[in-house]
């Protein structure tokens, strides 16, 4: 006996609802995608990289308004982890940096060289310096910073692009309750193109121009060699 059409619609609606709930749970507590908007993590991460982050590792924050509840994580950040967190100043903007020291450790910078607990901290594989000058201005902590002990329940974060990163050297440590996740891999990478026409909603003709241009240059703009790269 055939089922009525209304029964089929109900089943479809239930399935769709379950799928949406599962997608929401995965996005908010397990894995989430982020786009890299700045050069502060070059050459580990490039502008236009799209990455996946493990939100479960440090304990994901539940998306409940006005309540600061988090799921339990299975470990705390370690030196070398590339982490996503809410910017401590506004607690809204997503930042991505490398954890170079954890609570209790002492961070010091001498003429661009980073030391943790008095030991040289080796630069990550793709870290870089773009300014050979050593800044001796005592108020600028980019190249020289007096020993600083990371407080309890905090980490100290720096960008791999050491001369062009706004990080813990300038605004202090990151509280663990601001962590959003650990960067896992690059799932897409789209190279910036200054010649690409921008979409202007006030000019609807800009939409097909942008689409046509990007289709025309699609192969050249995708950084194929970066797809699937693990972040570390």
Query: Any idea what the CATH number is for the domain that residue 110 is in?
Result: 2.10.109.10
Domain membership of residue 11 (yes or no) is no
Domain count, the chain: 1
CB 99 within 8 A of CB 157: yes
Residue 226 and residue 189 in contact, taking contact as beta carbons nearer than 8 Å: yes
CA 93-99-103 angle, 5° bins: 105
Question: Within a domain: residue 119?
Answer: yes
The answer to whether position 35 is within a domain reads: yes
Residue, of 154 and 63, whose pLDDT is higher: 154
Q: Would you say residue 201 lies in a domain?
A: no
**Whole-prediction pTM value?**
0.82
Return d(Cα 79, Cα 88) in angstroms, integer.
19
Residue 1 lies in a domain: no
Domain-embedded: residue 93: yes
At 136 the pLDDT is 82
Lowest-pLDDT choice from 130-144, 145-159, 172-186: 130-144
Give tens-digit pLDDT for 3-27: 455 555 655 565 555 444 444 444 4
Range of the domain at 82: 26-192
Quote the CA–CA distance of 211 and 198 in Å, as a whole number: 10
Distance, in Å, from the CA atom of 89 to the CA atom of 100, rounded to the nearest integer, reads 20
Quick check: 29 pLDDT over 90? no
Mean pLDDT of 220-226: 96
CA distance 177 to 83: 13
Active site residues: 40, 97
On whether the CB atoms of residues 100 and 107 are closer than 8 A, the answer is yes
107: pLDDT confidence band, cut at 50, 70 and 90?
Answer: very high
């Amino acid at each position: 006996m055939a089922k009525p059409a209304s029964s089929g619609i109900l089943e479809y609606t239930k399935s769709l609802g379950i799928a949406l709930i599962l997608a929401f749970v995965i996005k908010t507590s397990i894995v989430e995608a982020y786009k890299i908007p700045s050069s502060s993590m070059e050459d580990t991460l490039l502008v236009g990289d799209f990455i996946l982050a493990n939100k479960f590792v440090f304990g994901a924050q539940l998306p409940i308004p006005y309540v600061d509840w988090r799921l339990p994580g299975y470990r705390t950040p370690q030196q070398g982890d590339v982490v996503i967190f809410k910017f401590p100043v506004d607690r809204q903007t997503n930042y991505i940096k490398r954890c170079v020291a954890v609570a209790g450790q002492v961070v010091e910078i001498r003429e661009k060289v980073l030391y943790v607990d008095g030991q040289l901290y080796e630069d990550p594989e793709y870290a870089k310096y773009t300014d050979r000058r050593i800044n001796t201005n005592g108020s600028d902590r980019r190249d020289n910073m007096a020993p600083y002990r990371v407080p309890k329940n905090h980490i100290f974060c720096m960008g791999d692009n050491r001369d062009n990163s706004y990080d813990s050297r300038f605004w202090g440590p990151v509280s663990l309750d601001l962590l959003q996740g650990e960067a896992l891999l690059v799932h897409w990478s789209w190279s910036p193109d200054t010649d690409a026409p921008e979409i202007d909603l006030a000019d609807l003709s800009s939409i097909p121009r942008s689409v046509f241009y990007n289709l025309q240059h699609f192969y050249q703009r995708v950084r194929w060699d970066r797809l699937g790269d693990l972040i570390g």
